[in-house]
Structure 1
Amino acid sequence: MSFNDGAELDPSQVQDRRGSGPGRGMKIGGGIGGGIVALILVLLGVNPQILEDLTGSGQPPAVGPGTTQSGGTRECRTGADADKRLDCRILGTVNSLNSFWPDYLADYNVKYSRPQTVIFSQATDTGCGAATSAVGPFYCPSDRTAYFDPGFFEELVDRFGSSGGPLAQEYVVAHEFGHHIQNMLGDLGRAQEDPQGPQSGAVRVELQADCYAGLWARYASTVKDPDTGQPFLEPLTKQDLADALSAASAVGDDRIQEAATGRVSPEAWTHGSSAQRQKWFSQGYSTGDITKCDTFAVARP
């Protein structure tokens, strides 16, 4: 899904912390795939902290909350920039999401509170502890912030076989904002109550965030820049939808498990299968109705 060239981006909605040394530690929070290295270790029954202890990774000082790369997303000004640069595309998607959700939720008498968004490289501090790039994109409910290392999107293509199309990347951003909506509505914590297995609360939370991403995708081309009145994004194409479904499939627990171990163990799932993730993104996209995203209301999500 490409941006309209004349759309005006708002760099103030994203904090760019790239450009400083790596920090230390792992993560706690909701994520698109739970990480590249860390998730695979978890699926194998290994504590990811062991890897850090053995390798001594992350010894340099952590990247502080106020650190900003010179230039960075401050140079992202128009939709044309978002079509050329991944970090600008993340910013533009954030702008679109922050324009979509307030009006949509108002119809359900819910007031939207804007989350913070951070772009980082290698490592950063968060309200959920120190985070490294290994965990992939995630949302931290403690500081109500979505975190993105742009390097993840290369991993998504190179190591997990996802499409590299724009909506594949925008879906990831929309999924993390879906966790913020869950946090607002009081559903995010249900993942911790039932953390593992194909019908678990954890899987249902992740699939609901996929459904919320599909909701945004349905209306994204009509969401207008509040300053210019011009839509941020061009109408969705069949290829765009295929790109998003490709990304959803790439981060399915079954696909990651099979690649890592050669077998699938549903009892260890925390995010849902490839088919489930595609199904619930499509549910949000096809219905445009948040009430149809209740993954907790069905016997088998």
Structure 2
Amino acid sequence: MKWLGSRESDNVEDRRTLSGGKVAVGGGIIGIIILLLNVFGGENAQLVTPVLEQMQGTQSAQTESGIPLTKEEEELGHFVKSILAKNEDTWGKIFAENNKEYINPKLVLFRDGVQTACGGASSASGPFYCPEDQKVYMDLGFFEELKSKFGAKGGDFAIAYVIAHEIGHHVQNLLGTSDKMRQAQEGKSEAQANKLSVALELQADFYAGVWAHNNKQYIEEGDIDEALSAANAVGDDAIQSKMQGQVVPDSFTHGTSEQRMYWFKKGYETGDIKQGNTFDEIR
């Protein structure tokens, strides 16, 4: 992706030299459970963290870890700032065109663990959005996991796609979609509530595609394939098949690989936010 020399956002909090946000005990199955429930979603963070806080030790403050950033990590930080800036520009423009005000979120880079307004989280959570503080949280080590454990292609546009997906959750929060979804889940069976969660996630994928559509001037050959590979790798069916050897559709919370790729492509090809009503189409 072409990004060098472009504007970088001031809304990135780089906490990668800090530690102590979450002290994981045991790792293993806890990390797997979080990964299955919360592979870059955001809203599930509020459901998972109360359980984790009973199973893991929590520290209220972060301290300097003494581990400096490598040159590669510093460059990744600049890349993230550039992608966030492009999201700010895109959504600021789209909101203005629809007579709405876009409020820029913050993006927090962390390593190992972090404290958020939605509770504590470990790096195993994957990237997520916390609506309580309107911040996206990312441990960039997740992308190595995406390649090594789930077979996604490498490349910077996979990171761009995930950032755009999480910003999609922020857009949903600003538009009130997330609150409406949670209200609609009340009184529903688990399977019905999960379908609504899937619709919210697929819409965030669609919004990521809309963002990509509006930034075609920065996209290079192979970038969209990287995004689709990441979307394919984190489909509920792909994760469940790899991690537990069977697929349970009623437990899906994020959508299948095919659905995630479809909605990202639809957003990318149309660029029209009015065509992203996943809630009607997922029923």
What TM-score range do you get, normalising by the shorter chain? 0.7 to 0.9
Q: 1:130 to 1:221 in 2, by over 3 A?
A: same
5 Å-filtered alignment, 1:155-174, equals 155-174=145-164
- SS of aligned partner of 1:100: helix
TM-score w.r.t. the length of structure 1 is 0.78
Distance in 1, matches of 2:38 and 2:244, equals 12
| Residue 240 in structure 1 maps to residue 238 in structure 2 | no
Give the counterpart letter for 1:159 in structure 2. Answer: K
Contact 2:105 2:170 in 1 (8 A): yes
- SS of aligned partner of 2:103: coil
- SS of aligned partner of 1:275: helix
Give the counterpart letter for 2:164 in structure 1. Answer: A
Distance in 2, matches of 1:141 and 1:49, equals 16
Contact 2:12 2:108 in 1 (8 A): yes
Contact 1:122 1:132 in 2 (8 A): yes
Moved more, 204-213 or 17-26: 17-26
Contact 2:23 2:58 in 1 (8 A): no
| Residue 152 in structure 1 maps to residue 147 in structure 2 | no
Which of residues 244, 248, 271 in structure 1 aligns to 2:254? 271
Give the counterpart letter for 1:202 in structure 2. Answer: S
Distance in 2, matches of 1:252 and 1:273, equals 4
Which of residues 111, 125, 134 in structure 1 aligns to 2:101? 111
The aligned residue for residue 207 of structure 1 is: 202
Give the counterpart letter for 1:235 in structure 2. Answer: I
Distance in 2, matches of 1:96 and 1:69, equals 32
**Deviations 1:220-263 (Å, cap 9, x if unpaired)?**
145xxxxxxxxxxx2342x1111100000111000000011111
| Residue 296 in structure 1 maps to residue 279 in structure 2 | yes
Q: 1:111 to 1:52 in 2, by over 3 A?
A: closer
| Residue 216 in structure 1 maps to residue 216 in structure 2 | no
| Residue 260 in structure 1 maps to residue 243 in structure 2 | yes
Distance in 2, matches of 1:41 and 1:140, equals 15
The aligned residue for residue 119 of structure 2 is: 129
Q: 1:207 to 1:154 in 2, by over 3 A?
A: same
Distance in 2, matches of 1:25 and 1:191, equals 32
Superposed displacement of residue 48, structure 1: 8.0
5 Å-filtered alignment, 1:9-88, equals 9-10=8-9, 12-24=10-22, 37-40=33-36, 57-58=56-57, 62-63=61-62, 85-88=75-78
**Structure 1 unaligned runs (5+)?**
27-34, 76-80, 223-233
The aligned residue for residue 282 of structure 1 is: 265
Give the counterpart letter for 2:268 in structure 1. Answer: Y
- SS of aligned partner of 2:255: coil
Superposed displacement of residue 40, structure 1: 3.1
Q: 1:69 to 1:273 in 2, by over 3 A?
A: farther
Aligned-pair Cα RMSD in Å: 3.1
Distance in 2, matches of 1:7 and 1:50, equals 42
Contact 2:17 2:68 in 1 (8 A): no
Superposed displacement of residue 18, structure 1: 1.7
- SS of aligned partner of 1:215: helix
Distance in 1, matches of 2:15 and 2:65, equals 4
TM-score w.r.t. the length of structure 2 is 0.82
- SS of aligned partner of 1:211: helix
Higher helix share: 2
Superposed displacement of residue 51, structure 1: 7.1
Q: 1:241 to 1:138 in 2, by over 3 A?
A: same
Q: 1:69 to 1:119 in 2, by over 3 A?
A: farther
**Deviations 1:133-167 (Å, cap 9, x if unpaired)?**
11010000000111111111111111111111221
Give the counterpart letter for 1:253 in structure 2. Answer: D
- SS of aligned partner of 1:131: strand
